[in-house]
């Protein structure tokens, strides 16, 4: 939670309300713990243009009636009351999203400010503005009850929080969270039913047809009566896909949310991606609907702000120094994304894919690497904006972990590693989880792009089994202290089942099912925070406690392949493992694909 400027805020409570007439404010949403409360009000009539996003600021303090709990939430321009369905480009509605963690009476104090470039100022300034600011204030309260029995299991658990223990935990239950997610398609929001979405010149995939966008037609059959849509029945393919994920146990999606000047060039939050100061409010309302539905279905978001090909896009557009400065357009991007999606329960902010790679950028100005100091600034800026303290990670170039993560050890705003690697998953997970603990800032560790850039996790039809994935990646990573895996599909020479082109996630149905079985076994068997791990030769020995508090020991016998020099990007061999579990005085062998 954010608790900035509380002294200024408390002193102005009475004065703020008295200084201007009341605004028409509405609070909507199920009035229950962990459910989204939307504060909306009617402001001036504006349109999608730069000044709307840079010169207006909605800032709201939410505080509990009896508990010492405060949240500082940034709002956003929502357009019209039904922007979701109207493809609106103008309006007078602003909104702020709040998720109450406890029941009772919640108060709010709202400041709506019109001042040149206010979006780039410290949010506390709105409570002590300069003389040229036009302001309105409003205060009120609403009641929140405990979650009803009809609440979904996921929503009742609360936020995924980084409590600095090495795993994310649900804030409502303190349960550690593991993931077995989809790493592809990374451009999943290059979806034809979203407003203002088009291919701006990315790689051509014949399987995607003329518009080069996803339609997810094979998943329309997974949409069910009563599920959300927008416009004239739009969204069934993507919403159906989320239903399919929930059915097979996929609980995370890796997604690049701004890829203009990148690989796909088909996902961006803007009206025109060449102008990163003007946001498409109806498209973002549709994104928000899908994110909220993902929360309902228990599917978290690995939210990548950028990728390596457009890593310095904002600095280039703003004409500031690449590799050093913090562009205003980047600040606005972070601000808008946190304001619109920061209320998501299952969310990890990811600074970007393959960031900080020195010597891999050529002369492309957009692809020039950000520096370690920039990434420190970016993480802290997002941390200060986010009222819910979601985890903040970053994704590396293969075998570039030391340069990327080493200087960030101990940084309090930074939460951990989004690993790209093609081998040594146990060793890497163990090394970085231990080093981060030694630096007094334990990190979470995710494996987010395993098995090589070319093929990754191949379709069911192309492999006899998924031994390389399950035995060579998932088990070793979890035993090393990782929090799970997102399965990347590989480039595959532009095949129809590749990272950017796949339309039917059933192409890896067996992988999803096997991964979920392993994850659920870990969730139901181990007290994750008690686990200790050592090596005996190539074998892994893990000890700790089971869920009942009894000692438990897991031994993995491994045959580690020798990766030929120069072939680390394409590891055809896999580690062969056998698993032995000692628990409750009994010893048994585990089937890696069905450990229960």
pLDDT beyond 80 at 98: yes
Instruction: Let me know if residue 150 belongs to a domain.
Output: no
Torsion of CA 289, 294, 300, 306, to 10 degrees: -40
Instruction: Let me know if residue 545 belongs to a domain.
Output: yes
- Among 122, 144, 166, the domain boundary falls at 144
User: Is there a single domain that holds both residue 293 and residue 321?
Assistant: yes
Q: What is the pLDDT of residues 232-248, one digit of tens each?
A: 999 999 999 999 999 99
User: Is there a single domain that holds both residue 539 and residue 524?
Assistant: no
pLDDT beyond 70 at 153: no
User: Is there a single domain that holds both residue 474 and residue 508?
Assistant: yes
Instruction: Let me know if residue 1 belongs to a domain.
Output: no
CA pair distance 418, 551, nearest whole angstrom: 31
Q: What is the CATH number of the domain that holds 400?
A: 3.20.20.80
DSSP letter for each residue of 278-290: -B-HHHHHHHHHH
Instruction: Let me know if residue 172 belongs to a domain.
Output: yes
User: Is there a single domain that holds both residue 321 and residue 231?
Assistant: yes
CA pair distance 332, 375, nearest whole angstrom: 16
pTM of the complete model? 0.94
CA pair distance 202, 408, nearest whole angstrom: 33
Q: What is the CATH number of the domain that holds 138?
A: 2.60.40.10
Using DSSP's 3-state secondary structure scheme, residue 497 falls into coil
Q: What is the pLDDT of residues 49-80, one digit of tens each?
A: 999 999 999 999 999 988 889 999 999 999 99
- DSSP conformation class of 481: T
Residue 16: what pLDDT? 42
Instruction: Let me know if residue 149 belongs to a domain.
Output: no
At residue 14 the predicted structure's pLDDT band, cuts being 50, 70 and 90, is very low
Q: What is the pLDDT of residues 367-425, one digit of tens each?
A: 999 999 999 999 999 999 999 999 999 999 998 999 999 999 999 999 999 999 988 99
Output the six-digit token pair for 111: 């400041």
Per this entry, what is the length of the chain? Answer: 596
CA pair distance 136, 19, nearest whole angstrom: 8
Check if the beta carbon of residue 56 is closer than 8 Å to that of residue 172. Answer: no
CA pair distance 529, 13, nearest whole angstrom: 43
User: Is there a single domain that holds both residue 421 and residue 529?
Assistant: yes
384: left (phi over 0), alpha (psi -120 to 50) or beta: alpha
Query: How confident is the prediction for the chain on average, in pLDDT?
Result: 91
Question: In angstroms, what is the C-alpha Rg of the chain?
Answer: 24
Instruction: Let me know if residue 271 belongs to a domain.
Output: yes
Instruction: Let me know if residue 452 belongs to a domain.
Output: yes
Q: Which residue has the tokens 């400027």?
A: 5
At residue 428 the predicted structure's pLDDT band, cuts being 50, 70 and 90, is very high
Residue 173: exposed, middle, or buried by beta-carbon count in 10 A (0-12, 13-18, 19+)?
A: exposed
pLDDT beyond 80 at 561: no
User: Is there a single domain that holds both residue 539 and residue 480?
Assistant: no
pLDDT beyond 50 at 184: yes
**Residue ranges making up the domain that contains 114:** 6-144
The residue among 452, 469, 558 whose CA lies nearest residue 510 is 469
- Among 109, 144, 179, the domain boundary falls at 144
Helix ranges (H only) for 342-424 are 372-385, 401-405
CA pair distance 17, 555, nearest whole angstrom: 64
Instruction: Let me know if residue 125 belongs to a domain.
Output: yes
CA pair distance 161, 465, nearest whole angstrom: 35
Instruction: Provide the number of structural domains found in the chain.
Output: 3
User: Is there a single domain that holds both residue 528 and residue 538?
Assistant: no
At residue 493 the predicted structure's pLDDT band, cuts being 50, 70 and 90, is low
Check if the beta carbon of residue 387 is closer than 8 Å to that of residue 440. Answer: no
User: Is there a single domain that holds both residue 348 and residue 406?
Assistant: yes
User: Is there a single domain that holds both residue 89 and residue 231?
Assistant: no
Residue 596: what pLDDT? 86
The residue among 59, 55, 33, 37 whose CA lies nearest residue 46 is 55
pLDDT beyond 60 at 12: no
CA pair distance 288, 95, nearest whole angstrom: 13
User: Is there a single domain that holds both residue 577 and residue 507?
Assistant: no
Check if the beta carbon of residue 450 is closer than 8 Å to that of residue 422. Answer: yes
Kindly provide the residue ranges of all beta strands, DSSP E only, lying in 183-287, ordered along the sequence.
Answer: 252-256
Residue 491: what pLDDT? 85
User: Is there a single domain that holds both residue 201 and residue 219?
Assistant: yes
Residue 342: exposed, middle, or buried by beta-carbon count in 10 A (0-12, 13-18, 19+)?
A: buried
User: Is there a single domain that holds both residue 503 and residue 472?
Assistant: yes
Listed range (67-71, 107-111, 195-199, 551-555) with the worst mean pLDDT: 67-71
- Among 121, 144, 167, the domain boundary falls at 144
Residue 376: exposed, middle, or buried by beta-carbon count in 10 A (0-12, 13-18, 19+)?
A: middle
Strand partners of residue 60: 73, 110
- DSSP conformation class of 230: B
Question: How many angstroms separate the Cα of 442 from the Cα of each of 174, 345, 411, 417, 528?
Answer: 17, 22, 10, 11, 14
Q: Which residue has the tokens 């090495």?
A: 166
At residue 563 the predicted structure's pLDDT band, cuts being 50, 70 and 90, is low
């Amino acid at each position: 939670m954010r608790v900035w400027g509380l002294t200024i805020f408390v002193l102005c409570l009475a004065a703020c309300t008295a200084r201007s007439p009341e605004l028409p404010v509405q609070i909507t949403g199920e009035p229950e713990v962990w459910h989204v409360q939307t504060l909306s009000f009617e402001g001036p009539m504006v349109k999608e243009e730069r000044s709307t996003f840079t010169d207006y600021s909605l800032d709201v303090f939410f505080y509990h009636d009896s508990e010492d709990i405060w949240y500082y939430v940034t709002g956003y321009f929502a357009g019209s009351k039904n922007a979701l369905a109207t493809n609106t480009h103008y309006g007078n509605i602003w909104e702020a999203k709040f998720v109450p963690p406890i029941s009772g009476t919640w108060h709010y104090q709202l400041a709506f400010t019109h001042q040149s470039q206010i979006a780039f100022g410290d949010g506390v300034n709105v409570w002590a503005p300069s003389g040229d600011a036009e302001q309105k204030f409003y205060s009120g309260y609403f009641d929140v009850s405990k979650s009803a029995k009809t609440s979904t299991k996921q929503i009742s658990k609360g936020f995924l929080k980084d409590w600095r223990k090495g795993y994310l935990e649900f804030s409502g239950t303190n349960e550690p969270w593991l993931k077995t997610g989809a790493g592809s398609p990374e451009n999943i929001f290059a979806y034809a039913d979203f407003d203002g979405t088009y291919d701006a010149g990315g790689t051509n995939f014949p399987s995607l047809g003329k518009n080069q966008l996803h339609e997810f037609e094979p998943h329309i059959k997974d949409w069910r009566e009563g599920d959300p849509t927008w416009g004239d029945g739009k969204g069934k393919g993507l919403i159906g896909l989320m239903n399919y994920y929930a059915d097979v146990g996929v609980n995370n999606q890796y997604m690049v949310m701004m890829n203009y000047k990148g690989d796909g060039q088909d996902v961006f939050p803007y009206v025109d991606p060449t102008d990163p100061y003007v946001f498409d409010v109806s498209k973002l309302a549709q994104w928000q609907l899908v994110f909220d539905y993902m929360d309902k279905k228990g599917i978290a978001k690995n939210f990548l702000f950028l990728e390596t090909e457009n890593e310095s896009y904002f600095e280039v557009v703003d004409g500031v120094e690449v590799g050093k400065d913090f562009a205003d357009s980047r600040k606005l991007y972070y601000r808008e994304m946190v304001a619109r999606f920061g209320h998501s329960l299952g969310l990890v902010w990811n600074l970007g894919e393959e960031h900080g790679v020195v010597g891999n950028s050529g002369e492309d100005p957009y692809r020039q690497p950000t520096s370690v100091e920039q990434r420190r600034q970016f993480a802290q800026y997002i941390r200060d904006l986010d009222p819910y303290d979601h985890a903040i990670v970053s994704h590396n170039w293969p075998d570039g972990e030391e340069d990327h993560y080493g200087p960030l050890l101990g940084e309090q705003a930074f939460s951990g590693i989004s690993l790209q690697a093609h081998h040594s998953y146990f060793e890497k997970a163990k090394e970085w989880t231990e080093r981060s603990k030694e630096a007094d800032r334990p990190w979470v560790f995710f494996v987010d792009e395993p098995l090589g850039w070319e093929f990754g996790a191949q379709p069911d039809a192309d492999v006899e089994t998924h031994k390389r994935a399950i035995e060579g990646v998932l088990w070793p990573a979890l035993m090393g202290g990782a929090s799970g895996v997102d399965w990347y599909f590989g480039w595959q020479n532009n095949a129809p089942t590749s990272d950017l082109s796949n339309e039917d996630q059933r192409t890896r149905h067996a992988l999803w099912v096997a991964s979920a079985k392993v994850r659920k076994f870990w969730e139901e068997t181990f007290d994750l925070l008690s686990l200790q791990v050592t090596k005996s030769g190539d074998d892994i020995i893990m000890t700790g406690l089971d869920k009942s508090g009894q000692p438990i020991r897991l031994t993995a016998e491994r045959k580690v392949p020798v990766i030929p020099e120069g072939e680390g990007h394409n590891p055809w061999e896999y580690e062969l493992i056998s698993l032995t579990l000692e628990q409750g005085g009994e010893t048994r062998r585990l089937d890696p694909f069905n450990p229960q």
